[in-house]
Structure 1
Amino acid sequence: MIKDVFVKNRKKLLEKVEDNSAVIFFAGKALTKSADEEYPFTPNRNFYYLTGIDEPHHILLLKKVNGKESEVLFVIKPDLERERWYGKTLRQNEASELSGIEDVEFLDSFEAVVNRLITAGDIENLYLDLERNSMDDDKTTAEKFASKIAGIYPQIVVKNIYNIISEIRMVKSEEEIEEMRKAIAITLEGVEALMKNSKTGIKEYQLEAYFDFVCKSHGVKDYAFKTIAAAGENAAILHYSTNNTVIKDNEMILFDLGAQYKYYNADISRTFPANGRFTKRQKDVYEAVLRVNEKVIAATKPGVKFIDWNNQATEWIAEECINLGLIKDKSEVRKYYWHSIGHSLGLDCHDVGRRDVEFKPGMVWTVEPGIYIAEEGIGVRIEDDVLVTENGCEVLTKDMIKSVEDIEKFMAQK
């Protein structure tokens, strides 16, 4: 994306920050896997959203003092010897061109700059990205820095910027949506490759490899999440990802997958018969899920509350479960469906933002009803990605076939 996008993102954030405050974001670093081997680096998504930079260790400092806004980017000082081993790092001019930030300094001056900012009395508040999933998680770089600031500068009020930037990120720009369209297009091509090469007698991961090949062919470096390739009863395990079971005849296989393009994600689920033909029971369950999928998409529009949307979807699934003879009362639906109908999608697959929101134009949500019947070896989920528009929604995944007739016709051509 062009740097103007990141300039606008920083502007939107600073509008929500109190005066006489600073905001700091850390790019993050690669985690150690074992010995001297590291996991692949992926940037902190909020840092990337504000800078467009995907190298480790860099730091962004935003300031609003007496109504005047300014910004500094701190980057690694070039180490020519290290670069002979690991490659060139961003130079100051390159970082400025990517991010649109004019003031780019070396990382070794960061703490001195923060000290001067605080001791001069310019700021009263320091905002940090204090995202935390559970008490058991290790402390992040931002949390460690928060503790350091609190110990040295007790006069500074440390605040959490995470919820503020999450709210901003929920509404996507045209440029972000374009990146998501590219991720979706690659994913759809990969799903078609799965259908073309599907057969029984192979392991789930062997079929999954066709999706991986398509993604690699398009330069995809990472996925939205670990691919779920679940045949037969494995499809009744929501986050199954072992993918090492032999696919049997007359089984369906559920794929939940997504390519990641420039850190923006697709998230699509498709379920199809491994041999290309649905049995009568498989077809009945599949079409029940498809009816809910289409109803939920039709109900997606501005002003709709997520909670109401989710509850209505559960009602519809419960009705289908009764019709399929699975339950007698809607209260029993959790035996065969136990997740929400969807989630926000963007730089994270399960993207940031609260669930108690009303839909707004520019939001992207997944629509993923499912019915999971472990005792019958059947699990069906049909997931699309939808963009909320001014008058309703656009199905970003509309080019991926999902009717029984279209699937069987497509698979018969292989």
Structure 2
Amino acid sequence: MRYSLPTKELYIRNRAKFCEAMEKDAVAVFNSNDIMPTNADGIMPFRQNSDLLHLTGIDQEETILLIRPNFPDENLREVLFIRETNELIAVWEGHKFTKEEAREISGIQNVQWLSDFEKALNELAVASNAIYINANEHTRAMLDVETRDDRFSKWCHLKYPNHEYKRAAPVMQLIRTAKSQEEIDMLQKACDITNDGFRRILKFVRPGVNEYEIEAEFIHEFVKQKSRGFAYIPIIASGGDSCILHYIENKKTCKDGDMLLMDVAAEYGNYNADMTRTIPVNGRFSKRQADVYQAVWRVKTEATNMLRPGVVLSEFNKEVGLVMQSELLDLGLIDQTDIKNQASDSQAYKKYFTHNTSHFLGLDVHDVGSFYEPLPEGAVLTVEPGIYIPEENFGIRLEDNIVIQKENNLNLMKDIPLELEEIETLMNE
């Protein structure tokens, strides 16, 4: 394992939070993700199920967690099942966790081989009134592929048709939203690696450089520092493509006078940073580029100050839209007539600021959390306003990662260059 794990106490606390929130006469089941195929015998890199990882720290395929908080036999109140290895697997795939290693990582004392799962589940299920089934219930999830959780749900409903079934996802969303200090430390590490990648880029970018070369510089720095790579598919967009929110081709040559928008960040230990910076390819902002950049910077600063425990994110995004509206008026991109004639569901500012300001961040880049409930202290969110002007052939977005605190919020990206003058200075050293 290339990254340093948090201590097992984190996962012990996380399971205790889940047990406190679930019904007591119930058993909960959490499955690892599948290893997904590509073509022929190819496979995608394995990415662990975030809920299972949050509860166990076990970053390995074919893993199952059983939780039954008040079961009479204390040894069966939490059981971890892992894949049994052998010499052939060791030769072809490498080392798999031993029971002792899984016990030390997770803090779960009863670790068994996966082949013993059905017997243990049956013993717990027949003594339980309900079964908690997990699923990906993220509001933006694309659910075209059947997951391991989906297959287990079908099997479980057939085997135990008379049980009541409960959703584990709402409970997991509740306990994952506020981050512990150990999780914040992991996110900080991902942000620090991202910082080093960005500073490397500032010395590399110049007219004539290709977007994919910039992508290569980032991945070199990330992997060198024990990251497994990008937290998400990187956006390296120069010129007019900086107005395309999810431009991922990264194929063009950066030209003199272009702005270069980079939405790219590192992961570390499955925790994800999410950074956007926009810089001038030639190292100097034009007057118009600087004016728009400073407008975005002001919106980001005010939006960050507006985030506090108790804020409802759906309302916050609307309020930030009004701050952006004022900046767009000053830039001459909209006028009072546009505002007067705007529809209630299509505000004038959305012509140039087309997305929300913030989303949750953690084990997933778009992490779990409610846009309609008050934010808890310890939630981690992005703040990422942008202004996109296709008719002027450039867009600017600036994004930091913010820990919500009672007093002053913690910016995990405070060391990543952002000020216009600092960007120009570093690019021209």
* TM > 0.5 fold call: yes
> Is the 1:65–1:122 Cα contact (8 Å) retained in structure 2?
no
C-alpha offsets along residues 38-95 of structure 1, whole Å, 9 cap, x if unaligned?
A: 1111110111111111110011101134688710011111221221111121111111
One-letter identity of the residue aligned with 2:385: P
* Deviation of the 1:320 alpha carbon: 1.1
**What letter matches 2:306 in structure 1?**
A
**Alpha-carbon contact 1:302-1:392 (below 8 Å) kept:** no
Instruction: State the TM-score, normalizing by the size of structure 2.
Output: 0.93
Give distance in 1, aligned partners of 2:215 and 2:310.
39
Larger CA deviation: 60-69 vs 81-90: 60-69
Correspondence 1:129 to 2:134: yes
C-alpha distance in 1, partners of 2:372/2:159?
38
CA distance in 2, matches of 1:97, 1:333: 53
Q: Is the 8 A contact 1:77 1:106 kept in 2?
A: yes
Hey, what does 2:103 align to over in structure 1?
96
Q: CA deviation at 1:136?
A: 5.2
Correspondent of 1:332 among 348, 352, 359: 348
Match for 1:222 among 215, 222, 229?
Answer: 229
Identify the residue that residue 390 of structure 2 maps to in structure 1: 374
Q: Does residue 147 of structure 1 match 2:154?
A: yes
Partner of 1:177: 184
Once the two structures are superposed, the pairs formed by residues 113-262 of structure 1 within 5 Å of their partners are: 113-118=120-125, 121-132=126-137, 137-262=144-269
Aligned 8 A contact 1:302 1:391 in 2: no
**Aligned-residue offset at 1:134:** 5.9
Q: Percent identity?
A: 36
- In the alignment of these two chains, the number of paired residues is 411
More displaced 10-residue stretch of structure 1: 143-152 or 42-51: 143-152
CA distance in 1, matches of 2:141, 2:97: 34
Q: Deviations over 1:122-161 (max 9, x none)?
A: 1111111122456852222112211222122211112110
3-state DSSP of counterpart to 2:38:
strand
Cα distance in structure 2, aligned partners of 1:168 and 1:68: 26
C-alpha distance in structure 2 between counterparts of 1:130 and 1:172, whole Å: 21
Written as runs of structure 1 = structure 2, the 5 A alignment for 1:29-40 is 29-40=34-45
Q: Aligned match of 2:412 in 378, 384, 396?
A: 396
Q: Does 1:323 align with 2:330?
A: yes
- The residue that corresponds to 2:366 in the other structure is 350
Cα distance in structure 2, aligned partners of 1:219 and 1:395 = 22
Q: Which of 293, 307, 311 matches 1:304?
A: 311
Name the aligned partner's letter for residue 386 of structure 2. Answer: G
Structure 1 distance, partners of 2:165, 2:150, is 10
SS of structure 2 residue aligned to 1:60:
strand
Letter in 1 for 2:269: K
1:308, distance to aligned residue in structure 2 (A): 2.4
Q: Out of 24, 32, 35, which is 1:27 matched to?
A: 32
SS in 2 for 1:248: coil
Report the residue type matching 2:166 in the other structure: K
Gapped runs of 5+ residues in structure 1? none
**Does the residue aligned with 1:38 lie in a helix, a strand or coil?**
coil
Determine which of 259, 263, 270 is the counterpart of 1:263.
270
- Do the aligned partners of residues 307 and 68 (structure 1) sit closer, same or farther apart at CA in structure 2, a change above 3 Å counting? farther
Counterparts in 2 of 1:131 and 1:114: CA distance versus 1, 3 Å: same
